[in-house]
């Protein structure tokens, strides 16, 4: 069931994973500035605590997170836990379901039955090649770059080397844009490296991602800042819109046309929401 909040039409900037088995984290999440909370039933939850995490997730979502969009990451297709995860989501007021390890459209089948928008995680070389078809599926609302698993699958000697995954990262963005869906960057593992996180979040925005997935509350505010238009960008957009007369024209030493005006208006709209 989708809430009626108009903001749901816009992509979240910050998507924070919250372990379903961590009662304190579930409680504290309500006071964070994350645009979307992703209650995690997959990687963050040990095998012996899956049932406990489902119950805690249901209680937390039922209690509500006012003003926030809420999703749940279930276990992937082929997992012994997925069916129980899907059953646990029945009747909850969620904005999306996050499905890990989506390698093909067939992996969406059970999640599609929930009637919720799916955020599909692209985490393997096979998924990179199938990303365009996955993004085009009517059930999919966005793609999430699962770069930790992708780095492992690619056998990269340094899992933090985004440059070695540049082609794959761009392929995810291209697939999202071709399918008309959102695209979200993967997590930054070094939670004590604030400067490194800020640099990666800034790069993610320059690459075209709509937002970034997060693993620690300390990353929320820097992420929101990275994906919000700067004062300089806002001023430039306002000047461009004010100067536009339609068609191609010269403005501030460059040629602009209707496409640039539309982009400027979109930036100002996003700045207003931020």
pLDDT digits (tens, 9 = 90+) for 105-118: 999 999 989 999 99
* Residues 180 and 267 occupy one common structural domain: no
The secondary structure element, H or E, covering residue 142 is strand 140-145
Whole-number Å distance between alpha carbons of 20 and 35: 18
- 132 DSSP assignment: H
The DSSP line for 213-225 is: EESSGGGHHHHHH
Whole-number Å distance between alpha carbons of 170 and 152: 18
* Residues 218 and 235 occupy one common structural domain: no
* Residues 65 and 189 occupy one common structural domain: yes
In a domain, 243, yes or no: yes
Question: 84 with 58: CB under 8 angstroms?
Answer: no
In a domain, 54, yes or no: yes
Q: What is the pLDDT of residue 271?
A: 72
* Residues 156 and 268 occupy one common structural domain: no
Whole-number Å distance between alpha carbons of 247 and 11: 29
Whole-number Å distance between alpha carbons of 76 and 42: 8
* Residues 29 and 158 occupy one common structural domain: yes
Helix (H, G, I), strand (E, B) or coil at 15: strand
In a domain, 1, yes or no: no
Closest CA to 18 of 41, 2, 48: 41
In a domain, 110, yes or no: yes
> What domain count does the chain have?
2
With cut-offs at 50, 70 and 90, classify the pLDDT of residue 264. Answer: confident
In a domain, 25, yes or no: yes
Question: 128 with 173: CB under 8 angstroms?
Answer: no
With cut-offs at 50, 70 and 90, classify the pLDDT of residue 274. Answer: low
Q: What is the pLDDT of residue 234?
A: 65
Angle subtended by helix axes 125-136 and 166-179, to nearest 10: 10
With cut-offs at 50, 70 and 90, classify the pLDDT of residue 3. Answer: very low
In a domain, 268, yes or no: yes
Residue 4 confidence (pLDDT) above 50: no
With cut-offs at 50, 70 and 90, classify the pLDDT of residue 76. Answer: very high
Whole-number Å distance between alpha carbons of 69 and 71: 7
Question: 212 with 175: CB under 8 angstroms?
Answer: no
With cut-offs at 50, 70 and 90, classify the pLDDT of residue 8. Answer: low
Residue 217 confidence (pLDDT) above 60: yes
Question: 124 with 92: CB under 8 angstroms?
Answer: no
Question: How many CA atoms, within 13 angstroms, populate the side-chain half-sphere of residue 22?
Answer: 17
Residue 253 confidence (pLDDT) above 80: yes
* Residues 173 and 217 occupy one common structural domain: yes
Read off the pTM.
0.86
Q: pLDDT, tens digit, for every residue of 139-181? A: 999 999 999 999 999 999 987 789 999 999 999 999 999 999 9
Question: How many CA atoms, within 13 angstroms, populate the side-chain half-sphere of residue 122?
Answer: 31
Q: Percent of the chain beyond pLDDT 90? A: 76
* Residues 157 and 245 occupy one common structural domain: no
* Residues 267 and 165 occupy one common structural domain: no
* Residues 153 and 253 occupy one common structural domain: no
Torsion of CA 49, 55, 58, 59, to 10 degrees: -120
Q: What is the pLDDT of residue 273?
A: 60
Length of the chain measured in residues = 274
CATH code for the domain of 155: 3.20.20.60
Q: What is the mean pLDDT of the chain?
A: 91
Question: 95 with 64: CB under 8 angstroms?
Answer: no
* Residues 129 and 262 occupy one common structural domain: no
Closest CA to 30 of 159, 220, 196, 182: 220
* Residues 221 and 246 occupy one common structural domain: no
Residue 203 confidence (pLDDT) above 60: yes
Residue 131 confidence (pLDDT) above 50: yes
The secondary structure element, H or E, covering residue 5 is none
Q: Considering only residues 230 and 247, tell me which one the structure prediction assigns the higher pLDDT.
A: 247
- For residue 63, give its domain range: 6-227
Residue 237 confidence (pLDDT) above 90: no
- 107 DSSP assignment: G
* Residues 136 and 268 occupy one common structural domain: no
In a domain, 11, yes or no: yes
Q: Beta strands 254-256 and 211-214: pairing type?
A: unpaired
Q: What is the pLDDT of residue 242?
A: 82
Residue range 4-21: mean pLDDT, rounded: 81
Q: What is the pLDDT of residue 233?
A: 72
């Amino acid at each position: 069931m989708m809430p009626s909040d108009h903001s749901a039409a816009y992509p979240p900037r910050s998507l924070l994973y919250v372990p379903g088995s961590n009662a304190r984290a579930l409680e504290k999440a309500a006071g964070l500035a994350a645009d979307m909370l992703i209650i995690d039933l997959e990687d963050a939850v040990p095998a012996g605590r899956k049932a406990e995490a489902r119950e805690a997730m249901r209680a937390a979502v039922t209690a509500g997170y006012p003003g926030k969009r809420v999703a749940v990451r279930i276990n992937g297709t082929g997992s012994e836990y997925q069916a129980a995860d899907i059953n646990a989501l029945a009747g909850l007021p969620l904005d999306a379901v996050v499905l890990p390890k989506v390698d093909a459209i067939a992996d969406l089948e059970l999640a599609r039955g929930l009637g919720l928008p799916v955020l599909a995680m692209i985490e393997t070389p096979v998924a990179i090649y199938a990303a365009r078809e996955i993004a085009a599926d009517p059930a999919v609302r966005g793609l999430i770059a699962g770069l930790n698993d992708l780095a492992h699958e690619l056998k990269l000697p340094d899992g933090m080397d985004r440059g070695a995954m540049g082609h794959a990262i761009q392929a995810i963005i291209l697939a999202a844009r071709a399918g008309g869906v959102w695209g979200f960057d993967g997590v930054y593992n070094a939670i004590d490296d604030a400067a490194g996180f800020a640099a990666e979040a800034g790069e993610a925005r320059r690459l075209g991602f709509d937002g970034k997935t997060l693993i620690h509350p300390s990353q929320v505010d820097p992420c929101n800042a990275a994906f919000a238009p700067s004062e300089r960008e806002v001023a430039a957009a306002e000047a461009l819109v004010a100067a536009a007369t339609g068609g191609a024209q010269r403005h501030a030493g460059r040629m602009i046309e209707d496409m640039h005006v539309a982009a400027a208006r979109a930036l100002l709209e996003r700045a207003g929401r931020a």
